[in-house]
Amino acid sequence: WGYEDYQDLMAVVDEALKQPYVDAERTGIYGYSYGGYMTSWTIGQTDRFKAAVCGAPCFDLESFYGTSDIGHVFGRSQFGSKPHEGEEWYKAHSPSTFAHRAKTPTLIVHGEEDHRCPIGQGEQMFIALLDAGVETEFARYPGGSHLFLRGGPPAHREDFLNRTVGWFKDHLGGAE
């Protein structure tokens, strides 16, 4: 969670940037669920991306442990301990610890009825980014579960797609 995964993903980005058709000045990052975790982690580690879209992030692992429908079981198996037994690990691997360093304009998208990565995770991220002075937008989808992008109301899915594309167009520019 965080460190090695981040290094692996940045190595892939570095390789992609070697291609003549990839513009390092127009790179964005997107992730949802664990990808949302990695997106929120990444923008606290580097400002190399010009825009981010972060969906249903796990932003603070201690609060995730206590509020997710799987947090207390998943947390012990993934994180190796309960929060009070591994305070330093939870802090070191939570994107919330590093959010004050973020600079990347970020759109956060989240279903309000997401019990896997509860809406509070997105809310915490939104406030942390605002406090850091980051251009941030938060799109909340009423009644949206963790899987609203697959089976939610068509209007929500359409809005999500339009917002995501619009965010990247606005911050990365259109196709040349």
Catalytic residues: 33, 146
Q: CA triplet 5, 133, 113: central angle to 5 degrees?
A: 60
Q: Is 111 exposed, middle or buried (0-12, 13-18, 19+ CB in 10 A)?
A: buried
- DSSP bridge pairs for 141: 111
Q: Where would I find the H helices in 17-80?
A: 34-43, 61-67, 71-79
131 to 110, 113, 124, 127, 157: CA distances (angstroms): 20, 25, 11, 6, 29
Are 123 and 90 in contact by the 8 Å Cβ rule? The answer is no
Are 102 and 52 in contact by the 8 Å Cβ rule? The answer is no
Q: For residue 86, give the 3-state DSSP assignment.
A: coil
